[in-house]
Structure 1
Amino acid sequence: MTEVDVETRRSSFSTMAFASVLLFIFSFYSCYAQVPLLMWTSDGYSLPHLTQHPAGHVVCDGHLVSYLKSALNTAPHNVLLFLQDKLSIDDFTVYGGVFGNKQDSAFSNIEAALQASSNPLVLPSIVWSASDSVLELFQQELGIPAVHISPSTLEEFQLNATQPSLLAVHLPYTTGTETKEMLLKNDKIIGEVLGKFKSHGVPYTAVYTSLKPSIITQETPMMAESAMGRSLLQAPPQASVKPPVTFRNTEGHPCILLWAENLNVSFKETWVDLGPATFNGSATLNGSTCNQTLSRLVLNYQNVFKLKPLRLIFSMRNSLFPVSARNWSVMEQVVIEYDGKTSVFNGSGGIYSPAEYSFHCQSVSSIQSPLLVPTESAAQWRLSFTDFQIQGFNVTGGNFSYASDCAGFFTPGIWMGLLTTLLMVLILTYGLHMIMQVRTMDRFDDPKGPAISVPLNE
């Protein structure tokens, strides 16, 4: 056997082993929307050895920040961030190499780069919302803005090994029969970018991840599998819940969270749902601020109504209420900026919660039973938020705290039950009172004795 055959078999075995490891780790993919993250360095550099979590572990925001910060301590500060529109674990298992056949793999350049790296980092499952913070984290750690480049402008970019750089390469994704072809094109682009850095002798740190999952799978519970007769009557599983809008402070920690099923805005009786643009990444958070006293979440939309930009602003205040001796978060205003005009909706006092909690309400509206009271400037506007939840203070772990709901304890159903019970108690009390008032006769005629005679005066 020649040396070439030995090297070929060794390379095939390494590729098969890498694919097997990925398949084993990725098989524990949970039912929530998650994306993978791959990180490696150029020749001569290595990433620090990080503690490996058990299979099935989902990396959240805090763990991901810790991983990336530890990696930048020893890795080159020329960072290549390959952001694909969508990517899931199943893309590796379906379109990766089969039995070490690189020609059949849609990730041949990525697999080769991972094999060449001494200690690559593979995170099979990170929280969907955490992937949005990767670019922001690198910008904060490197202290430089990101340069967004496309494959056509790559040749024009001048590489400099002495200064740190952050290049963000956006890659498309498509579903259907053209998925593998698109992944092959993206892999070719990644190979060209890595080849350019290698030819110029510039060390680099590469990261490959996505902003959204391409496939959302759901696991079938074991109990449901054991009861096949009952599983036929179950409703089909719903899609995974979209993650909340998250604004981070200057330190990279989440400080404002917003979620809603619908964010309906009406201008001159024309309704538009801003929910899809809010949670698919189209809306930006420029202008948002947060501190211990004030939180201001600004949602910037493009091409709303007459193709003009619109800003939706939520202003919250953290105040101490002496009566309750605790801090409360109060929604003071919701402001709409559109076409150079500002429209203000004041909080009616019903949008509040303890500062440690989040606020939740099934319906926040300016129409019926308004929690948002329009001012004169908002006479032509209407707001209607469905399944609305927001938290502007004391956010921990990137998840909502316990929700303080706007629904009062005495609902109409409870009032009906209380009144009915009271009426029944009154009827029962009156009946008992009447029974207790019944008296028996204390004198009776003796049928054996003489009859009572009444003399008649003539």
Structure 2
Amino acid sequence: MAAASSSGKVRLTTLLLRLLGLLSSASCSAQVPLLLWSSDSLPPLASPAAGHITSNDQLSAYLAAALGSGPHTVLLFLQDKLSKDDFTVFGGVFGNKQDSVFHNLEAALQSSASSITVPALEWTGASSFPALFQETLGVSPVLVDAETLSHLTINTSVNNLLLINLPYCTGSHKSCKEVLHDNDEIIGNVLSVVKEKNVPYTAIYTGLQPSRVISEASVSDQSVSRSLLQAVEADVKAPIMFNQSGNPCIMLWAQNLFVSHESPSKWIDLAEETPSLAGSMCNNTNSLLVLTYPSGSILSFSMSQRHYPVSGRNWFTLDSVQLQSNSQTASFVGGRGIYAPAEYSFHCQSVSSFQDALLVPNNTNQETSKWSLNFIDFQIQGFRLANGTNFSYASDCAGFFTAGIWMGLLTSLLMLLIFVYGLHMIMQLNTMDRFDDPKGPSISVPQSE
């Protein structure tokens, strides 16, 4: 009996240790929920067991099976933050549906031909989901909203990845319930536009990162040197696209859109905000892209194209960039170095107004001197978009003869000149026409006294 009791205690202790191990491993991994539904049938996905965390590899394999064959139009509703608790607290798929703020989302799941719910999906970084769908479909995501989508012509014969960014309540003057309710309205409006166009679609609703992170293990249990070497992955942003009369005509992408007022050390990155495109326009000769940000700043890009007889082709130039913020207006001229063939896009690693300036301050505006602009990894196209949703071939601002190439050429030329001079000196050496013969008269060398 004593032996049996001892064996039972050992088994119980082992079971508790395993359970604690599972809990500790789960607490160290962040998860986001993912909802997927389609107007067509989707391959079945086994219901995960309680507490199971779906890995990115499992999701990638499922997406390859669901979206790998035939053209698909994918609507990716990507919220800044999302966790299962958001559904539990505010109703919906995992919560009380009587007081839910996700009415349109629930209706879409119920009316769809098939739907998949993943309560806990492994989160590895803010850029993992856009990159995963981009790799699966083989196309770049295009940032749209309900208004832009209503004027967009969708080619159903090719893959389309339409990205709809949704905000979260962090730092917002609205409550989380109001923000999520507004996001649900956006989802409903986008789905209504797609259904009106009679386009088969597959929709995904998930988050860039968890809104509520489970407490992680203490820092003392982790390797400090390893954590110092870890870096956060950069976001994969979709280009900003403006459509007019259903035709895409302006695209812009930038990793950062830094602006600064009087203090060069305090930069504001407008690329972190989602702008409105109201006021933009385009035609065969002029394009105007107006980005109105929630913070109150307005950034305008004015472009034009014309025919140059010398080159025999049309070229477009970024004529000016205007910034309006805090009732102040700053204007910069960009035609000096920002140009490309009309059928190309323009790309530059850095477009700034202060160092190697491609944006020249407009001296007629005194407020301009107080502002500084710095656009990182900047690309823009205002005419003749390729395939309607992609940038054309990029004309880069970096010339062929960069500083490094000039240094190499000048160094090689200097060494070549030294070699030629040495070879010339060797070839000028002549042998003596007389030699000292012991049998003959000696050679006399006069000496000066």
Task: Note if contact 1:131-1:211 (Cα within 8 Å) is conserved in structure 2.
Answer: no
Q: What is the Cα deviation at residue 333 of structure 1?
A: 0.3
The structure 2 residue matched to 1:315, chosen from 285, 302, 306, is 302
Q: Percent identity?
A: 41
1:435 to 409, 426, 431: 426
Cα distance change of structure 1 residues 271 and 356 upon mapping to structure 2, 3 Å threshold: farther
The equivalent residue for 2:40 is none
Counterpart amino acid of residue 66 in structure 2: A
262, 266, 270: which one pairs with 1:268?
262
Query: Is 1:420 matched with 2:431?
Result: no
**Secondary structure in structure 1 of the residue aligned to 2:149:** helix
Q: How far has the Cα of 1:356 moved from its partner? A: 2.0
**Which residue of 1 is the match for residue 66 of structure 2?**
55
Give the CA deviation at 1:423. Answer: 0.9
CA separation of 1:214/1:395 partners in 2, compared to 1, >3 Å: closer, same or farther?
farther
1:148-175: CA deviations, max 9, x gaps?
Answer: xxxxxxxxxxxxxxxxxxxxxx99689x
C-alpha change, 1:295 and 1:414, in structure 2 (3 Å) is: same
Measured in 1, the distance between the counterparts of 2:382 and 2:59 equals: 31
RMSD: 5.2
How far 1:55 moved relative to its partner? 3.0
**Which residue does the alignment assign to 2:338?**
351
- Supply the distance in 1 between the matched residues of 2:266 and 2:324 (Cα, whole angstroms): 15
Correspondence list, 1:297-446, <5 A:
297-303=289-295, 309-375=296-362, 376-377=364-365, 378-396=368-386, 397-446=388-437
Give the residue type in structure 2 aligned to 1:345.
F
Matched, 1:249 2:275: no
* Shift in alpha-carbon separation, 1:422–1:235, aligned structure 2, 3 A: farther
The 1:428–1:347 alpha-carbon spacing in structure 2 relative to 1, beyond 3 Å, is: same
TM-score, length of structure 2 as denominator length: 0.55
Deviations 1:239-278 (A, max 9, x none): 4412222222221x43222222222222233665453x43
Q: Give 1:58 deviation, angstroms.
A: 10
How far apart are residue 372 of structure 1 and its match?
1.0
The aligned counterpart of 1:137 is 149
- TM-score calculated relative to the size of structure 1: 0.54
- Aligned partner of 1:227 in structure 2 is none
Aligned counterparts of 1:444 and 1:171: Cα–Cα separation in 2: 98
Q: Of the candidates 277, 285, 296, which is equivalent to residue 293 of structure 1? A: 285
Cα deviation for residue 398 of structure 1 reads 2.4
Number of residue pairs the alignment of both structures matches: 320
Residues 447-458 of structure 1: matches in 2 within 5 Å? 447-449=438-440
Query: Which ranges in structure 2 are unaligned for 5 or more consecutive residues?
Result: 1-42, 118-128, 135-139, 154-165, 171-175, 189-200, 211-228
Deviations 1:334-366 (A, max 9, x none): 112345453321125200112222211121111
Query: Residues of 1 paired with 2:347 and 2:244: CA distance?
Result: 23
Structure 1 gap ranges (5+) = 1-16, 37-51, 66-82, 97-102, 142-169, 175-180, 194-205, 216-233, 304-308
Secondary structure of 1:393's match?
Answer: coil
Q: Can you list the C-alpha shifts for 1:222-253, whole angstroms capped at 9, x where unaligned?
A: xxxxxxxxxxxx976834412222222221x4
